[in-house]
Amino acid sequence: MLDVNGLISSFIEPWQTSRFADIQKAPWDVVGNIEALLRQHIAILDSSYERVDEWAVHRTARIEAGAVIKGPAIIGPNCFIAAGAYLRGGVYLEQDCTIGPSSELKTSVMFAGSKLAHMNFVGDSIIGADVNIEAGVVIANHRNEREDRNIRIVYHGQVIDTGVSKFGALAGDGSRIGANAVIAPGALLEPASIAGRLQLIDQSPEMELT
């Protein structure tokens, strides 16, 4: 039986030394509680972070005029957030992350060196280190196309019932997602996964995988 509580640390190496290292929960449970977790960590950040309302920004991070950040959020060292970006619902950027113009990041965690190009939506997800997400990518977080919106995932021949209605993806370190790809709700992308441009990845048992 798959240990869903060990998925994050097996997909994302930096998790094991991050501020979340002591959390061994399924990825959908982590993002479901991310706002409370961030508030706890904001309260103990050192003086290298500046606090504004419910978000904290490292002094080396750059945020262009016109970006919108709704806390709680932690923006780590050397991160860059472009004009028109929208961060909300609990967001953590570890370090050296880039959020491009007109990209929306909602209720998500990103690790070192990961990038959203521009005009992206990433919802309720955990993104590993050195993940590159090209322009126009959508990582969807909600199955509004059916009455039963509970997210189920087929992974290594097993069906995982998450018990939640909102979860995007767990994207392993070094993954590459091409322009205008769509990642359907409930995706487990192993380290170094590649999604081609315009590709749909849907790991739901209700879908015929191609």
**Phi and psi, residue 105, nearest 5°:** -125, 120
Pick from 86, 109, 127, 103: which is nearest to 34 by CA? 109
Tokens at residue 123, please? 């919802």
Torsion angle in degrees (nearest 10) through CA of 11, 206, 104, 77: -10
Could you give the CA distance from residue 38 to residue 121 in angstroms, rounded to a whole number? 21
For the chain, report the end-to-end CA distance as a whole number of angstroms: 25
Catalytic residue among 41, 58, 118, 142, which?
A: 118
To the query of whether residue 41 is one of the catalytic residues in this protein, the response is no
| SS3 assignment, position 42 | helix
Enzyme catalytic residues: 118
